[in-house]
């Protein structure tokens, strides 16, 4: 495989949700051969995935093993809780020398466990830490690499269109960087929703916004709040799973993750409300699309304080 130019690699995507489909589109746009597998393909939720694959000429595999046995690079982009199970499933059929890029938001400990599975099977595991939201950057999202095979994979990823940088030969460093950042970023999302919704209930939101602007003049709090509300409403389930991995990262060094644990609960709670249809129907044009966070805060307040 090392003699094959990266542009001629066959890339296999495990996980064909938002991230997987973005990567598929950008890789296919560069003429790269792409296959994909997702557990949801077999169910009703797989319809949009199958349509997307047909539109972009992405081959759909029947299982993890079927995908792993026929590609040069496996990219795992699933929910955080599935990072290790996916590595285990792919390890059963991975070809010797195949790279396995783990882009999941998992703790350093989870990444190390996944690496052991892939490397023991003859594959080459590389951890990848996605350092910001993918949609604006798409395949060029800043990506930190880690592990003994990271330096070998980095030039190939560059040729495929990624924007990757080696963080360390030691596994866990890249993921720790992302996880510690997420304590702040995902925590800020949860705090803004909690603070601004409560301020709205008491009628003091304008005073709170004025005070925040005075303390942090570089932040447009109206715009930032709208963005935070939208992202959590739309992706709260995935975010809550990620923050549970963030909490595990904190536990791994001996601290109790009070902040991260609370953030995970708030994100999951918003996801539950979204699943109930509080913010509109998923897939509709107006779902999580309000430019005014007050609209979403009022919906939350109508749920928690009905009739008031």
Question: How high is the pLDDT of residue 283?
Answer: 61
Question: How high is the pLDDT of residue 7?
Answer: 80
pLDDT in tens, 159-179: 999 999 999 999 999 999 999
Q: Is the pLDDT of residue 1 over 60?
A: no
CA 65/CA 95 separation, integer angstroms: 10
Question: How high is the pLDDT of residue 175?
Answer: 96
Cβ atoms of 11 and 159 closer than 8 Å: no
Total-model pTM = 0.87
pLDDT in tens, 189-198: 999 999 999 9
Distance between first and last Cα of the chain: 65
CA 113/CA 115 separation, integer angstroms: 5
Q: Is 13 left (phi over 0), alpha (psi -120 to 50) or beta?
A: beta
Q: Is the pLDDT of residue 132 over 80?
A: yes
Distance of CA 48 to the CA centre of its chain: 19
**Reduced 3-state DSSP string for the chain:** CCCCCHHHCEEEEECCCHHHHHHHHHHHHCCCEEEEECHHHHCCCHHHHHHHHHHCCCEECCCHHHHHCCCCEEEECCCHHHHHHHHHHHHCCCCCCCEEEECCCCCHHHHHHHHHHHHHCCCEEEEEEECCCHHHHHHHCEEEEECCCHHHHHHHHHHHCCEEEEEECCCCHHHHHHHHHHHHHHHHHHHHHHHHHHHHHHCCHHHHHHHHHHHCCCCCHHHHHHHHHHHHHHHHHHHHHHHHHHHHHHHHCCCCCHHHHHHHHHHHHHHHHHHCCCCCCCCCCCCCCCCCHHHHHHHHHHHHCCCC
For residue 14, the number of C-alpha atoms closer than 13 Å in the C-beta half-sphere is 32
The stretch 58-78 carries a mean pLDDT of 97
The stretch 261-287 carries a mean pLDDT of 87
The stretch 152-160 carries a mean pLDDT of 96
Domains and CATH numbers, the chain: 6-170 (3.40.50.720), 175-304 (1.10.1040.10)
pLDDT band at 78 (very low <50, low <70, confident <90, very high): very high
Question: How high is the pLDDT of residue 44?
Answer: 86
Q: For residue 270, count other CB atoms closer than 10 A to its CB.
A: 26
pLDDT in tens, 178-227: 999 999 999 999 999 999 999 999 999 999 999 999 999 999 999 999 99
The stretch 71-94 carries a mean pLDDT of 96
Question: How high is the pLDDT of residue 114?
Answer: 98
């Amino acid at each position: 495989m090392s003699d094959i130019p990266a542009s001629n690699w066959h890339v296999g995507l495990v996980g064909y949700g938002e991230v997987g489909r973005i990567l598929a589109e950008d890789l296919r746009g560069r003429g790269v051969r792409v296959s994909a597998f997702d557990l949801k393909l077999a169910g009703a939720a797989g319809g949009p995935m199958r349509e997307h694959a047909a539109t972009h000429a992405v081959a759909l595999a029947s299982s993890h093993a079927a995908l792993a046995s026929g590609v040069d690079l496996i990219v795992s982009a699933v929910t955080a809780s599935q990072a290790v199970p996916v590595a285990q499933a792919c390890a059963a059929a991975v070809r010797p020398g195949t790279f396995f890029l783990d882009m999941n938001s998992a703790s350093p400990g989870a990444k190390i466990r996944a690496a052991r599975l892939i490397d023991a099977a003859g594959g080459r595991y590389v951890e990848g830490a996605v350092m910001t939201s993918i949609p604006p950057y798409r395949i060029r999202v800043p990506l930190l690499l880690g592990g003994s095979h990271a330096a070998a994979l980095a030039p190939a990823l560059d040729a495929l269109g990624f924007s990757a940088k080696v963080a360390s030969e030691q596994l866990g460093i890249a993921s720790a960087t992302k996880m510690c950042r997420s304590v702040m970023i995902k925590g800020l999302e949860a705090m803004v929703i909690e603070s601004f919704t409560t301020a709205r209930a008491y009628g003091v939101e304008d005073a709170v916004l004025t005070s925040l602007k005075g303390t942090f003049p570089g932040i447009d709090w109206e715009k930032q709040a709208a963005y935070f509300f939208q992202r959590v409403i739309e992706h709260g389930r995935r975010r809550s799973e990620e923050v549970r991995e963030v909490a595990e990262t904190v536990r791994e060094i001996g601290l109790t993750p009070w902040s991260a644990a609370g953030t995970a609960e708030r994100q999951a709670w918003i996801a539950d409300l979204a699943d109930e249809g509080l913010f509109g129907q998923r897939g509709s044009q107006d779902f999580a699309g309000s430019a005014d966070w007050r609209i979403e805060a009022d919906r939350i307040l109508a749920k928690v304080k009905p009739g008031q």
